[in-house]
Amino acid sequence: MQDVSLDIAGGEFLAIMGRNASGKSTLTRLIGGLLLPYAGEVEVDGINTRNPESSRRLRQLVGLMLTGADRQFVSNIVEEDLAFGPENMGLPANQIRQRVDTALKMVAMEEFAKHPPYLLSGGQKARIALAGLLAMNPRYLILDEPFSYMDSRSTVELIGLLQRWREDEQGTLILVTHDQQTVRQADHIAVLQEGRICFNGTPEELLGQEQDKLRQWGIEPPEISLLAEEIDQHLNWPAVGHVSDSGQLVERLWQLN
Amino acid sequence: MAIELDKVSYIYHINTPFASTALHEISLTIFEGETLGITGDIGSGKSTLLQLTGGLIKPSGGRVLKDGRDLARLSKRELSALHRRVGLVFQHPETQIFAYQVFDEIAFGPRNAGLKPAAVTERVKWALRAVGLPDGFQNRHTAALSAGEQRRVAIAGVLASKPAWILLDEPTAGLDGEGISQVMATLSAFGQQPGQTVVMVSHDLRQLLAISDRIVWLKAGKVWLDLRREEIIDHYQILHESAILPEVLNVMHALNEKGWQLDPAALTPSTLATAIAEHLRGEKQPCKD
């Protein structure tokens, strides 16, 4: 990380993109207080992550799901795993029970409460890992590539769950992902390159960038722009030009026909 | 060599309260030389199917046959001969990296196969090229690589043994756009070699469309659809109802509805763009003799 300045508003959905090794995971750990900056400051709700006295408060504010969360279960039974966080917060048994049940419901995994987590599929494990965070009632959720094994439908479902969580709890969502469908729903996207923020703007602004620039940032241009670009290259003139969805492209091609 | 699954079932934790059926009486033949894509929702049995195909786990019911012979009846020697021909790339293969230096990691297979040092070096360089990593990368330390680099080193380690069959479970998960393109280009080039069989599991249909001769869709432990590449677009409606589809399929379907007759195998942005441009220029599709 070098000279990164970033403001994340409460209730916002921020997506973080960038190549492998561009600093995305480092950024999430800095926000969650797992890493301390060599220079500069990180503040979450006014709490400086350097302050050891408020680290307990910080842990409760920020739910951090690291890559490979599906390999970090602490119990052999799903509901016990989910109870781990609330238990450590010193909550009474009935509240722990309630939090575990609510969290399981939020990720639509109620029927797996008594299952050993390691018997679940990769995508199911990711949901359980997320439920483990939700059981802590965090104000901020930071997820580092939670979708890498999910099919498109499950990803959409999980994003739906997270969006509902934001609305119900006025929570802030920070998501590291390469998934294009997902980032379209974000309020803001920050793109990192070699430890610096090279883009900070809305999804529309990002996907409207030149394709070469997107590739340089490790972002595959949308399928539809690739298609449009290649057709124009074949025809040797900008026949199709800029289109943002398949309907527009088909319409334009039909006119050209 | 063909591998045939004959009414194969697989039940995890059989005879316990947690028993769950991953596959139910699946019949499927995988032919030598083909690139087969396997897709399906979470928990549909994709990874289980791959492990059965590679002979890593034994079916709870039914048989897995290699050239008509039941794997369960093969001798130890025959089974290990089979395993030498089959390279498996598991989910998150980088977690299995054990060597300090990239060279030693990739050289492990070729050395075990008894190759001479010069041949081992050649093989390592070839495998690095195949996954799009530059010459000189063999001197790097495995711990100091990015996630994408580690993934490619792990895949290179499997390719280095030049297995006739390569089975991959979500090989691009977690990689950035460039990493995905490189891994897919590797697999595409690899799959086109004569006699090379590639079986790839992915939740991402776009990636499977980039390389597959044939795609199998699993649903709740059963084969839901088994389509050759050129048959896929004819099943657009049924696919559309069950998943979010890649844009190439949406575009091709919409144009076909308008009476265009595009090459049904042109299912990548680049091949579809060629087909569309040809149509617009009024060129006939090249005739196949």
**What CA dihedral angle connects A82, A85, A87 and A88, to 10 degrees?**
160
- Is B97 within the bounds of a domain? yes
Contact A20 B272 (CB under 8 A): no
Q: In this model, does residue B284 exceed pLDDT 60?
A: no
CA dist., res. A188 & res. A206, Å (int) = 9
B20/B135 same-domain check? yes
Contact B247 A257 (CB under 8 A): no
The percent of residues in chain B predicted with pLDDT above 90, rounded, is 60
- Is B94 within the bounds of a domain? yes
Q: Identify the helix (H) or strand (E) that includes residue B210.
A: helix B205-211
B266/B170 same-domain check? no
The percent of residues in chain A predicted with pLDDT above 70, rounded, is 98
B147/B267 same-domain check? no
B193/B270 same-domain check? no
CA of B283, closest CA in chain A: separation in Å?
Answer: 12
- Is B120 within the bounds of a domain? yes
Q: Is the pTM higher than 0.90?
A: no
Looking at beta carbons, which residues of chain A come within 8 Å of B244?
Answer: 152-153, 156, 181
pLDDT tens-digit map of A129-146:
999 999 999 999 999 887
Domain total for chain B?
2
Looking at beta carbons, which residues of chain B come within 8 Å of A129?
Answer: none
B128/B254 same-domain check? no
pLDDT (0 to 100) of residue B289: 43
Across chain B, the runs of DSSP E, i.e. the strands, are 3-12, 20-30, 35-40, 61-66, 69-70, 86-89, 165-169, 197-201, 214-219, 222-228
How many residue contacts between A and B have a Cβ separation below 8 Å?
A: 142
B161/B135 same-domain check? yes
Place of tokens 């009846």: B73
Token couple for A245: 């969805």
Token couple for B178: 């460039």
Question: Domain holding B115: CATH number?
Answer: 3.40.50.300
Contact B251 A215 (CB under 8 A): no
pLDDT tens-digit map of B112-151:
989 999 999 999 999 998 888 888 999 999 988 877 788 8
- Which among A178, A214, A235 has CB closest to B277? A235
**What CA dihedral angle connects A162, A163, A166 and A168, to 10 degrees?**
-100
- Is B289 within the bounds of a domain? no
- Is B16 within the bounds of a domain? yes
Q: Cβ of A240: how many Cβ atoms within 10 Å?
A: 24
B88/B17 same-domain check? yes
B195/B92 same-domain check? yes
- Which among A149, A223, A231 has CB closest to B276? A231
CA dist., res. B26 & res. B5, Å (int) = 7
pLDDT tens-digit map of B235-269:
999 999 988 899 999 999 999 999 999 999 999 99
Q: Could you tell me which residues come within 8 angstroms of residue A208 by beta carbon, excluding any fewer than 6 positions away?
A: A242
- Is B256 within the bounds of a domain? yes
CA dist., res. A30 & res. A188, Å (int) = 19
Q: Sorting pLDDT into bands at 50, 70 and 90, what band is A68? A: confident
- Which among B173, B244, B279 has CB closest to A156? B244
Residue B64 is part of which domain span? Answer: 3-241
CB A162 within 8 A of CB A127: no
Contact B204 A239 (CB under 8 A): no
B234/B273 same-domain check? no
Q: Could you tell me which residues come within 8 angstroms of residue A107 by beta carbon, excluding any fewer than 6 positions away?
A: A127, A128, A130, A131, A134, A158, A161
Q: Cβ of B17: how many Cβ atoms within 10 Å?
A: 7
Looking at beta carbons, which residues of chain B come within 8 Å of A181?
Answer: 244
pLDDT (0 to 100) of residue A207: 85
Looking at beta carbons, which residues of chain A come within 8 Å of B91?
Answer: 122, 149
pLDDT (0 to 100) of residue B287: 46
- Is B215 within the bounds of a domain? yes
Contact A148 B179 (CB under 8 A): no
- Which among B13, B41, B175 has CB closest to A154? B41
Looking at beta carbons, which residues of chain B come within 8 Å of A68?
Answer: 92
pLDDT (0 to 100) of residue B288: 45
Q: Identify the helix (H) or strand (E) that includes residue A211.
A: helix A211-216
Closest CA to A154 of A131, A174, A124: A124
- Is B69 within the bounds of a domain? yes
* C-alpha of A70 from chain center: 15
Looking at beta carbons, which residues of chain A come within 8 Å of B42?
Answer: 121-124, 149-151, 154
- Which among A151, A181, A223 has CB closest to B41? A151
One-letter amino acid for residue B121 of the chain: T
One-letter amino acid for residue A220 of the chain: E
Sign of the four-CA dihedral B103, B105, B109, B112: positive
> For A53, which DSSP code?
G
Q: Cβ of A182: how many Cβ atoms within 10 Å?
A: 21
ipTM value: 0.79
B27/B102 same-domain check? yes
Token couple for B88: 């498996």
Q: Could you tell me which residues come within 8 angstroms of residue B120 by beta carbon, excluding any fewer than 6 positions away?
A: B107, B110, B111
Contact B251 A250 (CB under 8 A): yes
B195/B78 same-domain check? yes
Looking at beta carbons, which residues of chain A come within 8 Å of B278?
Answer: 234
Q: Could you tell me which residues come within 8 angstroms of residue A123 by beta carbon, excluding any fewer than 6 positions away?
A: A149, A150, A151, A154, B42, B43
B180/B75 same-domain check? yes
